[in-house]
Amino acid sequence: MPVSSVEESERFRNRVRAWLEANLPPTLRAHPRRVSEAMVDGAEIPDDVKTWRARFGATGWGVPAWPKRFGGGGLSPDEIGVLNEEMARIDARNPIGGLGVMMFGPTLLEFGNEEQLQQHIPPIARNEIRWCQGFSEPGAGSDLASLRMAAEDCGDHFLVTGQKIWTTGAQFADWCFCLVRTKNSPKKHDGISFLLVDMRSPGVEVRPIRLISGESQFCETFFTEVMVPKANLVGPLNGGWAIAKRLLQHERQAASGGASPLGAPSTLRLSDLARETVGVDSDGRLTDPDLRRRLTEHLMDARAFELTRARGEAERRSNSDPSTISSILKNAGSRVSQLRAELTLEVLGHQGLGWSGEAFAASELASVRTWLLGKSGSIAGGSHEVQNNIIAKRILGLPDPAGSS
């Protein structure tokens, strides 16, 4: 790096450090996880998190690579690296998130028109509105292009009727980005459009789905003759499939570990937990040799995953587009996360079997629910099988067995 660039980087570092020292609420510095806990849909947001979100959102650093004119940080890859380092130094958490940041925002920046960008991107950058994703349907999950929810052309608006399922956070969302059928075509991918729907519109009904973990973050969403202005069409009519593919790349990028706690703190806690519950020998090793082997293998996989994810993130910052690594890490990240949850319950023993009651600590009950919810990782964001097909065909260039005689 040239001397001038080094000097500029250090000036920016000093500015970031001073700003963080002055603006991060002391309560969040002492308890940084409060930020993550407040970002769960439906969670009550404490005053200190509200303050931190407003301050951080005003800088644009919550979406550091997005253009300044739309409320982003407008930072270079080097500056983003410095910001991340300074945030990590004091364990400050980014309070700006959600599907708008992870998936929809980057997609709209590429495909949206000026009016759509001005309307939607700044509120996303400040975390003022929440988005949900209307892609999957009861008969169109892995085969997404088979979707049937129709958008009838009615002059200055569309009339949308149909059903979506597994709509994450729909009961809390302000807007939904949807795939709709706007033309019946022999080539099913050709008749799909990308539409934005205000969730407060008459005719929208949301029904939460209760999961085995006890949570209801997924929903059924019904649309009955919902009027949607044509100004809410993103990209060309019947051209939504290309937009959907790019958005799914961003989704896999996020699901591959960008927002997933797969790093050193979680694996370190698991190691400490194993030492406390299983016990160690005179050399400080776990007394159960089989568990010791499997835990070591898991820690190695988790570390390799984190390093590869970091490399993918660096590539994404330099190229601005999702990398092919995201498709590979989606499956790898799910496997690492699920195995960690299983090992945690094994280490807890009987205390890892609780569902409620004073006999179990809050952390033990949370481990059970994390294990149950983690099962959805094999499906959410694209099933393992679909991801393997993508890796085989589009990354490795392998022939399609279905096309062979």
Tell me the catalytic residues.
Answer: 251
Of 218, 220, 173, the closest CA to residue 197 belongs to 173
* Backbone φ and ψ of 178, nearest 5°: -125, 155
Contacts of 355 (CB under 8 A, 6+ apart): 214, 365, 368
Q: Determine how many CB atoms are found less than 10 A away from the CB of residue 331.
A: 23
What distance in Å separates the CA atoms of residue 40 and residue 144, rounded to the nearest whole number? 27
Strand-pairing partners, residue 204, are: 223
What span, in angstroms and rounded, lies between the C-alpha atoms of 80 and 76?
A: 6
Residues 132, 103 contacting (CB under 8 angstroms):
no
Contacts of residue 194, Cβ cutoff 8 Å, sequence gap at least 6: 111, 177, 178, 179, 233, 234, 235, 239, 240, 243, 244
SS3 content of the chain, % helix, strand, coil (to 5): 55, 15, 30
Cα dihedral 12, 17, 23, 29, rounded to 10, equals 140
Distances (CA, A) of 355 to 161, 277, 321, 369, 375: 40, 20, 42, 8, 17
In angstroms, the CA 10 to CA 110 distance is: 32
Compute the distance between CA of residue 91 and CA of residue 138 in angstroms, rounded to an integer: 42
CA 92 from chain center: how many Å?
19
